[in-house]
Structure 1
Amino acid sequence: PNSFFPQKTFKKPPQKKKKREKDQIMGERIVLYPAPGMGHMVPLIELGKRLVTNRPSLSITVITSTLPFDYNSAAHSAYIAAVSAAFPSITFHALPTLSTLRPLSTYPHTEDILFELIPRNNPNLRQILNSLSPISAFIIDFFCTSAIEVGRSLNIPTYFFFISGASALALFLNFPIIDRTTSQGFRDSGIEFNIPGLPPIPATALPPSMLDRGETYREFVNVGAQMANSDGVIVNSFTGFEPRAVRVLDEGVCVPKGFRTPPVYCVGPLISVVDSGGSGGGERHESLSWLDSQPSRSVVFVCFGSSALFTKEHLAEIAHGLERSGQRFLWVVKDPPPLDDISKRFTKPPIADLDKVLPAGFLDRTKGRGFVIKSWVPQTAILAHEAVGAFVTHCGWNSTLEAVCTGVPLIACPLFAEQRF
């Protein structure tokens, strides 16, 4: 498996796992199993692209799944079609879309739904894997932890793909140990986690679903334990970006003695570059056309990812800040979520009516130096544009890597998941 990854790898898997000679590996199949959602699917498929680019004889199969409330289905389908056309050796198998066992409004967190639905597809997953054998490697998203037993039962070397960074991985590997050595929840605690290679992490910086010792908390403890005992973990990061965290993972000292650090492979940065500049014959995206007329390094790009939704009051504060700053800006705005029905956070938000969600007169007062857009934008292309000088971001890992690799300074506004530590 080491030869699949073109960058430096760390801590080779045990020799007993290498059952095939190099010449037998050529032409074999790797199966990728991302969690639902573009933020999980895109980086794992980027790994698949890199693998077939460096080893054209490989076949990559991607097993996809969707949630019953997936409102990005059009973008999902378009992305798969584009990948299939550009990389014929990457094929896709779709698992059935399952319904939740109870009303959406009863799920406190999206993670609760993922941990419920993904294991229920294991029989269908097993059927697909059986039809594809022999398989030389099975690479799963950490939300698909239940699939590790399917891979093991079929004697397939099974690896985790960690879509965040090495620092977050070090914390996850320590979480089963933290669970053993603490007894209370973390919501109101003053506990700090002191993990080698990382600055002190306040327990309150954890995602909300991990603050109380409930069902979802237990699922995350299991994720950490299963990763530690897997054939390896592939991380979308690189040594130059996280030198301390990578070092402690490499040396196996991020967890106390007596606990296992799995083989870790840093293969980042894995970034999807979507051409929306018209070079392929398509129409140039309006955001890029607007940037073309702006001075070099003059524009603040404000975008909080596909999942973040702000109230009207939050949007007003951002608008006031941008207006008072006097800076040129490109701002992606989405309609505020309804506060009276929690289940609507899982449905597609309507296209924002900018005159209703932004302060009165804001668009007129900032006309010329500001551009507000209410739809998808080609983020990587925007960050690579000469006119962009700063990026206000929610610190999602994909966004962070894109900014680092395009050399754009970040103004951090972490919101959820692992973004606050």
Structure 2
Amino acid sequence: MSELVTKRILASSHNLYRAIFAINTQAPLSQAFTHKSLHRTGCLRCPKNTMLAVAEEPHVAFLQSPGLGHIIPLFQFAKHLVLHHQVRVSFLVITTGASNAQNQFLQSATIPPQLQVVNIPQSDMTDIITEDMLLLTKLCVMTQESLKPLKSILVELKPKALIIDIFTTQAIDVCEELSIPVYSFFTASTILLTFSLYLPKLDSQVEGEFVDLPGPVEVPGCPPIRTNDLLDQVKDRKNEEYSWYLFHVSRMPLVAGIFANTWQDLEPVTLKALKENPFFEEISTPPVYPIGPIIKDDEFLTEKDAEIGAWLDNQPTDSVLFINLGGVALKPVVEPGQEVIGREEVKRVVRAVIVGEEGKAIRRRARELKESACKMLEKGGFSYDSICRVVDIWKAKG
């Protein structure tokens, strides 16, 4: 598969993770190992003042679909488990159709000795991937073909658990045979998570296209979602992308738990719905563990990046930076029968953000979330304790 096709697949899959709050997770990785090299010996490195014995370090595996948009967030979580929770990690990587950027990322920097990369052998995609396939379909087919040797790899690794992403749910069947619990790491917002869990029900109740519904989609216990804001992959139910997305999200209730890259203060409404709403109890939603914010802890900055960062640092406190990423906190009003926002309306919204009470409330909320985020992953923080609960489950497996 060409590098161009792989990059397009990555771009398409990235669109699936659009959310009201985007958390950029990146981290460097230095070297890759085949699964045959896992038995090499080496000393374990634990943080100072840690009394854990080697036998108490649970070993878990990660598995994600191809592309940096999927690899980077799960790798950052894997690295966090190694460095802060004394977990040993085998990080499984699908190499079929890997881009140069992916290979460079996996060989670019030092990683903890207790995090080892396991390359899944490439699969021959000749006559399987066709040019007329849509991008998400190509990604899902490539992933499914690449997972054929998964059982033998897991038999050798013997992990206490497997952590997957949204497009590798075929691993659930393999792990059921091997009695390995599976967890899903959902990297987008919990609004998208609740919609994804509700999609099978919506699919069974609605005839025709969701975009033709007379009103917004009402997800139980959550804010309504405008049909225009739905994922591109669910706007056309006749294409294969929709079928693949529905297939994978329908299997999410089968996992032992769902890690969500969020925290209580950021998305309280949807987290409460996932825990308490009768619908999510009815479909046996697994426990949802808020573990965020898992963010990048280092990255290479270009000269231009450093220049932009320095400019931002020199701006006055409470400055307003207007960035249009496709969504805004204050929504301009479009006049009936028009598709373009008028100049005066843009001026009104900008003025409200800069000097209005709404803008002050947004900046106050941002400061509160920043302070809250800093505490979540500290010892005793909500997300830290949430991760500890799962790690204790892994340790108890012996």
Superposition deviation, residue 296 in structure 1: 1.4
Distance 2:324 2:285 in 1: 36
Residues 21-420 of structure 1 mapped to structure 2, 5 A cutoff? 26-56=56-86, 58-66=87-95, 68=97, 70-71=98-99, 73-74=100-101, 76-82=102-108, 85-98=110-123, 99=125, 101=127, 105-108=131-134, 110-133=135-158, 135-214=159-238, 215-251=240-276, 253=277, 255=279, 258-276=282-300, 285-289=303-307, 291-292=309-310, 295-296=314-315, 300=321
Deviations 1:197-255 (A, max 9, x none): 4211123422222122233322222222211122111111111110101111122x162
* Cα distance between partner residues in 1 of 2:155 and 2:56: 20
**Once structures 1 and 2 are overlaid, which stretch shifts more, 90-99 or 44-53?**
90-99
1:162 is aligned with what amino acid? Answer: F
User: In 1, distance between residues paired with 2:290 and 2:55?
Assistant: 21
> TM-score, normalization: structure 1?
0.59
Residue in structure 1 matched with residue 25 of structure 2 by the alignment: none
How many angstroms does 1:259 deviate by? 2.1
Tell me the matched-pair count: 279
Q: Deviations over 1:19-55 (max 9, x none)?
A: xxx9997223100012212221111111112211223
- What is the percent sequence identity of the aligned residues? 25
Q: Secondary structure at 1:91's aligned position in 2?
A: strand
Partner Cα separation in structure 2 for residue 184 and residue 101 of structure 1: 32
For the Cα contact (< 8 Å) 1:119–1:147, is it kept in 2? Answer: no
1:153 positional shift: 1.3
Runs of at least 5 residues in structure 2 that lack an aligned partner in the other structure: 1-51, 327-342, 348-353, 355-365, 373-398
Structure 1: tracts of 5 or more residues without a match: 1-21, 278-283, 306-320, 326-388, 390-400, 408-421
2: CA distance, partners of 1:246 / 1:25: 35
Task: Provide closer, same or farther for how the CA distance between residues 124 and 102 of structure 1 changes in structure 2, counting only shifts above 3 A.
Answer: closer
Once the two structures are TM-superposed, the CA of residue 190 in structure 1 deviates from its matched residue by 2.9
1:131: Cα distance to partner? 1.2
Deviation digits for residues 384-419 of structure 1 (CA, Å, limit 9, x no counterpart) = xxxxx9xxxxxxxxxxx9xx7599xxxxxxxxxxxx
Q: Distance in 1 between matches of 2:192 and 2:70?
A: 15
Higher RCO structure (Cα 8 Å, ≥6 apart):
2
Contact kept in structure 1, 2:94 and 2:121, CA below 8 Å: yes
RMSD: 3.3
Inter-partner Cα distance in structure 2 for 1:258 and 1:212:
27
SS class of match (2:279): coil
Other structure's SS at 2:62 match: strand
CA distance 1:256–1:29, change in 2 (3 Å): closer
Q: Which moved more, 1:215-224 or 1:138-147?
A: 215-224
Structure with greater proportional strand content: 1
- Deviations 1:296-316 (CA, angstroms, capped at 9, x unpaired): 1579586969xxxxxxxxxxx
3-state SS of paired residue (1:30):
strand
Deviation (angstroms), 1:171: 0.8
Contact 1:197 1:254 in 2 (8 A): no
Aligned amino acid, residue 65 of structure 1: I
Change (3 A) 1:250 1:106: same
CA contact (8 A) 2:182 2:257 kept: yes
| Bigger helix share | 2
